[in-house]
Structure 1
Amino acid sequence: MQTNTKVVRVISHAILKSVYYKALIFYIGLFLAFTGFAVIINVFPANALTLKIMAADALPKPVTEIGNIFKKEHPNVKIDYDFLGAGVLKGDIEEGAPCDIFLSANEKFQRQLKRKGFLNSYKIFAYNYLAAATPYNNPARVTKSNLIQKLMDANVTLATSSPHADPAGDYTWAMFRIINRRFPGAFKKITNHTNHLIDAAMIMPVLESGNADLGILYESQLLELKRSGAKINIIPIPEKYNTKAKFTASILNQSRYKTLDKDFIRLLFSKKGKKILKYWGFSPVR
């Protein structure tokens, strides 16, 4: 009986909504008839075009900010964002999820999608680097000078993104291999006591809860966290061990709004877009 009541309420709501819009259209028609103005009014905002943008979890701040500029230039367009690990997003695209623009944290996923016919080309729009972070009280006493030794210390709990699932994890594993060249056996020592998280966004809560002594994230993410008041210590990774992350943009072949997609990509590469990317800790392409 309760279910039937809910159904009646939903149907009643839909009818009232329909009557409301019909009345609204009637009065607007009268207004236009008396004033003589030829005005186009968007009575049904739900019918506005919607761009679907899937972007790596390191990109919410700059991409949303760029998206706000885009929406001012295209007031009839809405943007629906998905910010997750790029590997998860790639899998969603392969499984048929709707997507117009894909912003990945690497080239590999774009190449794989290109081989499968999901896109024709992609461009690098920004670079990023890795950095380390500890809880504010820094229980493992990690410093820039002892960072590499602490990474190899089995008593230090380390949190990273998962390789293959998230590019941040791939870049972190690449860094471990670079360290291994200088300190043979280091890769095994480090990875034996590493907690693999789905994506970099999960690392900060683990640090704050005290379940990890050390985390590896993008420099841009740590800058964002610091600005938001997060209680963390940022420890630079020596340049000789660090890896360069490449952030890439593509337009999916399934998109119905190629012209709008191109406008968004142009904005991403524009002076305004580059300024926003730089503010949030990325190195825009020149």
Structure 2
Amino acid sequence: MKTVQRLPIFIIFILIPFIAGCTNEEKIELTISAAASMTNSLNEIKKEFEQDYPHISVTYHFGGSGTLRKQIEQGAPIDLFFSASKKDYQLLEEGGFVRNGSAILQNKLVFIQQSNEEKQSLTDFLHSDGKIAIGTPEAVPAGTYSEQLLKELGIWDKLQGRIILTKDVRQVLTVVKEGAVDVGIVYQSDIHGEENLEAAWESDPHLYEPIQYFAAIIGNNSAVDDRKIDAMEHFYQFIQEEQSMNIFASYGFDTTEALVNQ
């Protein structure tokens, strides 16, 4: 009978941490901050990305672009940032936080209401005592654009006392769904797949600044190694590929080639 040769115990103990170290090194964690309006589309893209890159794990933090930008400026360990605000992207770029970035998408505003409510005109709404929800203009890009729209329509002052400010566009959807307000203003992409919500009135995109979304690789962590940088580049490129652009388009984003390649 053949005897099985066994490794000495001391060699096994030496190899265990080495093997464990190799195993741990295989998984790379990416932490990504993104505008709340991109929640559904980015979650779908995450599934596709992690299938193609099983050694990379993606964790999102969604919120208002202004709030997320301030967190990055204060040292939050963020690898990539998706902003619904050109201003917030530019502030990070000017502050030296952006390693690489570009405009990738465009959007527009819509007024929304519960789908089981009888449609009324904007004029009828103005003559009622109904409330309207928008994102807080100082922290939420959708709120900034909404304020511009309402001012250009000449109804901002008329609505004072009836405007409910929210922390992000997802909360606008929630308060409209719950009937806490009659109308809300969100991005066109936000109502995709939302039950019990519909567009009440469209908006004229010329009445507010172009709504552009920016993707950025954040470079405020000098300790990031080459493998992490490669992973960030992989995701940055992946979200601009046709597969991801088709997902964004399916959620109502404008992914025109002229915008993506600018």
Coarse TM-score class (shorter-chain normalised):
0.7 to 0.9
CA distance in 1, matches of 2:146, 2:160: 10
Aligned to 1:272: 243
User: What do you get for the CA RMSD once the two structures are aligned?
Assistant: 2.7
Structure with max Cα Rg: 1
Instruction: State percent identity of aligned pairs.
Output: 23
2:41 aligned with 1:62: yes
Please tell me whether the aligned partners of residues 176 and 183 of structure 2 are also in contact (alpha carbons under 8 angstroms).
yes
Aligned to 2:137: 163
CA distance in 1, matches of 2:127, 2:92: 38
SS of match in other structure, 1:283: coil
Q: Given residue 196 of structure 1, which amino acid in structure 2 is its aligned partner?
A: L
Aligned to 2:229: 258
CA distance in 2, matches of 1:204, 1:71: 29
Q: Deviations over 1:21-74 (max 9, x none)?
A: xxxxx6xx8xxxxxxxxxx89885586210111100011222122222222222
Aligned to 1:194: 163
Flag structure 1 segments of 5+ consecutive residues without an equivalent. Answer: 1-25, 30-39, 181-185
Please tell me whether the aligned partners of residues 132 and 214 of structure 1 are also in contact (alpha carbons under 8 angstroms).
yes
Flag structure 2 segments of 5+ consecutive residues without an equivalent. Answer: 1-11, 258-262
2:200 aligned with 1:235: yes
- The CA deviation at 1:241 is 6.1
Q: Given residue 98 of structure 2, which amino acid in structure 1 is its aligned partner?
A: L
Please tell me whether the aligned partners of residues 28 and 231 of structure 2 are also in contact (alpha carbons under 8 angstroms).
no
Please tell me whether the aligned partners of residues 179 and 241 of structure 1 are also in contact (alpha carbons under 8 angstroms).
no
Aligned to 1:129: 108
2:215 aligned with 1:246: no
Pairs within 5 Å for 1:1-286: 44=23, 48-138=27-117, 141-143=118-120, 146-147=121-122, 149-150=123-124, 152-153=126-127, 155-180=129-154, 186-225=155-194, 230-239=195-204, 243=208, 244-255=210-221, 256=224, 257-286=228-257
CA distance in 1, matches of 2:100, 2:126: 40
Please tell me whether the aligned partners of residues 34 and 81 of structure 2 are also in contact (alpha carbons under 8 angstroms).
yes
CA distance in 1, matches of 2:97, 2:206: 34
- The CA deviation at 1:270 is 1.1
Change (3 A) 1:42 1:79: farther
CA distance in 2, matches of 1:118, 1:165: 19
Change (3 A) 1:262 1:285: farther
Q: How many residues align?
A: 239
Aligned to 1:10: none
Q: Deviations over 1:175-213 (max 9, x none)?
A: 112212xxxxx2211244100111111112212222101
Q: Given residue 253 of structure 1, which amino acid in structure 2 is its aligned partner?
A: G
